[in-house]
Amino acid sequence: QVQLVESGGGLVQPGGSLRLSCAASGSIFSTNNLGWYRQAPGKERAWVASDIRGGNTFYSDSVKGRFTFSRDNAKNTVYLQMYNLKLEDTAVYYCTTAPVTLLWGQGTQVTVSS
């Protein structure tokens, strides 16, 4: 069974950077859209960024210009490069695939704090 595993989260100061990675245990990326979501404490899970099968990439207004989404199908890995992190970026970040293979990762914690 294919799984998604996120990594790269951690504690960072405001204005800092992190790069999240999400690796799949099988070759599913080329046939799927990929996305990143996040869930802050006490809030619902929210969409952050996604692409359409490696083509166009889309970002939520809250991260546009600060986050960069990318994928490497050969490595079965998707990335979220995060710059100029803000306190409100604190959340558990999840990667997901759809529509051919519907999967969610287990999440990685990002904490932005001074």
E strands of the chain, at which residues?
4-7, 10-12, 18-24, 33-39, 46-51, 57-59, 67-72, 77-82, 91-98, 103-104, 108-112
Query: Over the stretch 22-68, which tens digit does the pLDDT of each residue have?
Result: 999 888 888 889 999 999 999 999 999 999 988 899 999 999 999 99
pLDDT score for 26? 83
Place 2 in a pLDDT band, splitting at 50, 70 and 90: confident
pLDDT score for 44? 97
